[in-house]
Amino acid sequence: MSWLRRNLGLDGFDLIIHVGVTVMLMVMVAMSGGPDEMLPFTAGVSLVVLGIRRSLALRNDARRGLTSSEMAAERIGELEQRVAELEAASVQVAELEERLDFAERLLARQVAEPRGIGRGES
């Protein structure tokens, strides 16, 4: 886990995007001729949003309590379980196909050999 992720709860990419959006908003405010008080206000709102994102990310990481390699191992285990379930389902489908083929053969044989009414079987 990187230092940024461990301390800020955000990856470097997330942080760069956050800073980029903040800078773009500040440039838009400055170029639009808005009041000069909007620049510190924009920076303050950005910091509040960053703090909220940080607390949510750290809370989620603490709740999981897993490192990235442990999460990957857990995910691989889940995928292996799903593959095993799919293989079991394919076995069941093959058995059902065999039963259906058998039933079709029985029906085809009964249609090919019509029985007369009232004739006894010996």
The closest alpha carbon to 46, from 34, 54, 56, belongs to 54
Cα-Cα-Cα-Cα dihedral of 17, 19, 24, 26, to 10°? 160
pLDDT digits (tens, 9 = 90+) for 52-80: 888 887 777 666 665 667 777 888 999 99
DSSP state of 10: S
What is the SS3 assignment for 120? coil
pLDDT digits (tens, 9 = 90+) for 5-56: 766 677 778 888 888 998 998 888 888 887 878 888 888 998 888 888 888 8
Question: Domains of the chain: which residue ranges?
Answer: 1-65, 66-113
